[in-house]
Amino acid sequence: MLLGPSLAVSAVLFVIGAAGVLLRRNAIVIFMCVELMLNAVNLTFVAFAQQLGTNGQIFVFFVMAVAAAEAAVGLAIILAVYRHKETVDLQHINLLKG
């Protein structure tokens, strides 16, 4: 019953997260927007789980675990970059340029 509206909310949240990634220059804030996108996907899974069985919720469980690991490692990387470049502004971190 709540499937349609849940999907709508999830889509909107996902798009907001994507727009945030495109919009911001601060690496940490971009990271947070990625978390937002993950949450939107979680919402989708749970909404479908109500119709199709608990597998959806289990998947959300795993997503959260992976998100935690990813957050830890990602923030460690940002810290390492900050130590080198004194900034987390994405425009100044162009070490990949070639």
Residue 41 contacts other proteins per CB under 8 A: no
What is the Cα–Cα distance from 61 to 67, expressed in whole angstroms? 10
Count of residues that bind other proteins according to CB under 8 A? 80
What is each CA distance from 86 to 4, 17, 59, 80, in whole angstroms? 46, 26, 38, 10
Q: Smallest distance from the beta carbon of 77 to other proteins, in angstroms?
A: 6
Q: Which residue has the tokens 């998947």?
A: 59
d(CA 23, CA 98): 24
84 binds other proteins (CB under 8 A): no
- Residue 7 within binding range of other proteins, rule CB under 8 A: yes
Q: Rounded to the nearest whole angstrom, what is the least distance from the CB of residue 14 to other proteins in the complex?
A: 7
Q: How far is the CB of 85 from other proteins (least distance, A)?
A: 12
85 binds other proteins (CB under 8 A): no
Establish if 19 lies at the interface with other proteins (CB under 8 A).
yes
Q: At its nearest, how many Å lie between other proteins and the CB of residue 83? A: 7
- Give the residue from 76, 70, 95 showing the smallest Cα distance to 85: 95
Residue the block writes with tokens 């990602």: 74
